Structure 1
Amino acid sequence: MKCLHVLSVVAVATLGSFIAASTPAFCAAAKPVAPPALADAHTNYSVAQFQGQWALMSNMGTINVMANKALGPAARLLVALPEDLKKIVGQDRFSLARVSGTAWQGAEGDLTATLTLISENSAQLHITGKRGHKLDLPLYRND
């Protein structure tokens, strides 16, 4: 029995010294990964970063964002909502103009839609009606 006790102490000591010796190298090799930068007041996203398919956290389909070919003040984003969302909002298309480096906005009828990029892969679509109705949709890149 004494022999087994001595062997287990030696095994634990050897394993402990191996872990202690390899821990600094192991930790040094693992560099922390920075999260993607969030947009701030100085962020200026290009038109191409808004374009594409955006998904909701539901089974409503995707929101398609396209751009016209115009540059400068005539540039527009065309937002197409899926059929399920059209039933809630009352329309399925919005034409948006740039209001800042991270946001585009447009009014169609009694609705105002604002598309804001939070980061390169997340956005928010905010739709308000003249009678105080509001709809905030968090969006995630789907392409």
Structure 2
Amino acid sequence: MKPLFAATLLPLGLAFAGTLPAQAAKPAPHAAPAPAHYATPVFAGQWAIMAMDPITVVANKATGPAERLLVTLPESLKKIVGQDHFSLARSSGTEWTGKQADLAVIFSLVSENSARLQIKGEGAHKLDLPLYRND
């Protein structure tokens, strides 16, 4: 190879080699976002249902495995469900669950201002309520 020809290729090779690490450092464009994790106080408060009295959610003062959300239904829902107080344990960063008698209850946050309450009884009985913050 002639020295002049080699001298012109060397800067091109260095410029090309400098771009590879920059391209490799970029994150994948379709990486899944990290799952949300809401602190316990974000779940607490009054949660409204259209044209009904609000559902009250209170967190106990315990931490760790003893931490609970206490959900109180209004009288109108108590008549449908058969009970009005539920104690739920954290099952994920967005969801609390509990089972009392023949009822399974799931309270989950969709965002800081909207939630979902699901109450499933034995058989096909199911109550699925979209809620919004009423504070």
Percent sequence identity over aligned pairs: 63
Structure 1: tracts of 5 or more residues without a match: 1-39
> Where do 4+ consecutive residues of structure 1 move more than 2 Å?
none
> What's the offset of the Cα at 1:42?
1.2
Q: Deviations over 1:48-105 (max 9, x none)?
A: 00000000012x2010000111101110000000000000000000000000000000
Aligned to 1:136: 128
Letter in 2 for 1:76: R
1:95 partnered with 2:87: yes
User: 55, 77, 93: which one pairs with 2:48?
Assistant: 55
Q: Determine helix, strand or coil for the equivalent of 1:70.
A: coil
> What's the offset of the Cα at 1:136?
0.3
Q: Deviations over 1:2-58 (max 9, x none)?
A: xxxxxxxxxxxxxxxxxxxxxxxxxxxxxxxxxxxxxx7610000000000000012
1:45 partnered with 2:38: yes
Letter in 2 for 1:56: I
User: 97, 100, 106: which one pairs with 2:98?
Assistant: 106
RMSD over aligned Cα atoms: 1.1
Q: Determine helix, strand or coil for the equivalent of 1:101.
A: coil
User: 71, 74, 83: which one pairs with 1:79?
Assistant: 71
Query: What is the TM-score with the length of structure 2 in the denominator?
Result: 0.74
Q: Determine helix, strand or coil for the equivalent of 1:87.
A: helix
Letter in 2 for 1:47: T
For 2:45 and 2:95, the matched residues in 1 are separated by 15
For 1:120 and 1:78, the matched residues in 2 are separated by 18
Query: What is the TM-score with the length of structure 1 in the denominator?
Result: 0.70
Structure 2: tracts of 5 or more residues without a match: 1-32
